[in-house]
Amino acid sequence: MNNSRLITCGLYGALLVTLSACALPGQPLFSAKKGVPKKSGPLETGVKYEVRKALTTNVPFHPSAIKRYTFMLDEPRPPLVLASSMSRISQMRVRTTAYTHSESDHIAYGVKSALGTNLRFGAVRSAAADWSRYPVGTVFRISGQPGIVYVVDDYGSALVGTGTIDLYKPSRSMMDNWGVRHVDIEVIQWGSFERSMELMRDRTRWRHVRAMMDGIEARLRTAGVPMSKAHYTAAL
The pLDDT value given to residue 109: 72
Among candidate residues 27, 14, 83, the one with its CA nearest the CA of residue 55: 14
Domain ranges of the chain: 3-65, 82-223
Rounded-to-integer distance, Cα 181 and Cα 97, Å: 7
Confidence at residue 221, expressed as pLDDT on a 0 to 100 scale:
84
CATH superfamily of domain region 82-223: RlpA-like domain (2.40.40.10)
Asked whether the predicted pLDDT for residue 104 surpasses 50, the reply is yes
pLDDT one-digit tens code per residue, 19-46? 454 444 444 444 444 444 444 444 444 4
Helix (H, G, I), strand (E, B) or coil at 33: coil
135 phi and psi, to 5 degrees?
A: -65, 160
CB 127 within 8 A of CB 121: no
Burial track 148-182 (b if 16+ CB lie within 10 A, e otherwise): ebbbbbbbbeebbeeebbbbbbbeeeebeeeeeee
The predicted model gives 103-113 an average pLDDT of: 74
Q: What is the pLDDT of residue 73?
A: 46
First to last CA, the chain: 69
- Residues 168, 156: Cα–Cα separation, whole Å: 12
